[in-house]
Amino acid sequence: MDGRTGLKGGLSTTAMGITPHEDVDEALRLAFTMDIPFWPQLPKLSYYEDMYVQAMEHFPGVVIDEEHMRIFVDTDRFMEEIPQYLEREDNLQTFAMSDRFSLVYRRFLSMDLSSYKAIRGQVISPVSLALKIVDENDRPIVYNDEMRALAYSFIQKKVNMQRRELKEKNDRAFVWVDDPGLEFIFNAMCGYDNIKAKKELMDFYDGIDGTRGLHLCGRPDWDFLLSLNIEILSFNAYAFGDIFVTYDKVVDFLKRGNIVSWGIVPTYYEEFSKEDLQSIVKRLESMWKILEKKGLDIHMIVQQSLLAPATCNLMNTDKTATVEKSFELLNELSLYLKERYA
């Protein structure tokens, strides 16, 4: 059980935020097939639905060029707008998403969400944001100490504001941080070393209200990841689960009462077409057996596990079809395993 929210995993389903839909109603319908619904991010619907663009609303100096689908921070404007930003920093609405930056989010909040086990939101991580967003010279803002420091503080407040809004709809709401770029800080060419990143991330998570969650699809340093002060870890178990469970820190993570969200059902057509319910069950249970050999009780693993698709996916030629089938298979998996371990 997660001590900060009382949330149990219990093989409940959820999913990461991005879906390939261009229809808000269809995206929300899919999100509500999960035990823990989420608000979908739809970058194919609008550039403003891109998770990086969404997160940068009200950031000092930001320039959003929708026509050319480009976003950057103008250094001169950043310096000019910092005083005004600091005056607004105590106003929570500075960190709320407007309709323009997510029609889906506002629609989600307008619904009755009280009956669900929990509901979930997401915000891009300050690490990924600072690596991706550049200045006017195409230099990532992670290398500008002032911009990077503000990005950490800014995103922290975005997470807390989103949780505040979601919690008004469901008391068990939580927001996890999406970190697709985290794996790059372990590259010797990055220039933003993982020692500095760890300290800044620890401070960042210390200031997060409620459950501290992290989602990523890539392959970071697992020891680094599992030593962060988080309570929910969502990862691509389909690709990396066999490696992940060999780390002793996974055992420590679960023994502390934390939750792992196993991204186990692939969303890419080529991978999905090779799998069925029994093959996914076999794949997941082989990982759990390794944890059992390390001394974890299978029922504890089950109670502290969520189930999810392996990754987001905007690339399939069949658009939404495989992703929708992946969600269906995920629900079948959840029901099967709940009965198996009841």
Q: Which CATH number does the domain housing residue 131 bear?
A: 3.20.20
Q: Determine the structural domain holding residue 190 and report its residue range.
A: 12-340
> Is 297 domain-assigned?
yes
Residue range 14-51, pLDDT digits in tens: 999 999 999 999 999 999 999 999 999 999 999 999 99
- Please name every residue paired with 177 in a beta bridge, in sequence order, or none if there are none: 123, 214
| Res 70 pLDDT > 90 | yes
Q: What gap in Å lies between CA 138 and CA 72, rounded to an integer?
A: 8
* Vertex 107 angle, CA 104 and 110, to 5°: 155
> Is 192 domain-assigned?
yes
What is the total count of domains within the chain? 1
3-state helix, strand, coil in the chain (%, to 5): 50, 15, 40
> Is 1 domain-assigned?
no
> Is 244 domain-assigned?
yes
Contact (Cβ atoms closer than 8 angstroms) between residue 259 and residue 306: yes
| Res 1 pLDDT > 60 | no
107 CB burial (10 A radius; 0-12, 13-18, 19+): middle
State the pTM of this model. Answer: 0.96
> Is 138 domain-assigned?
yes
pLDDT, mean of residues 185-193: 86
| Res 286 pLDDT > 80 | yes
Residue range 151-160, pLDDT digits in tens: 999 999 999 9
> Is 3 domain-assigned?
no
Looking only at the bridges linking them, the beta strands covering 120-124 and 305-309 are: unpaired
Residue 274: predicted pLDDT:
97
Residue range 203-233, pLDDT digits in tens: 999 999 999 999 999 998 999 999 999 999 9
Q: Which of 325, 211, 222, 317 is nearest to 266 (CA)?
A: 325
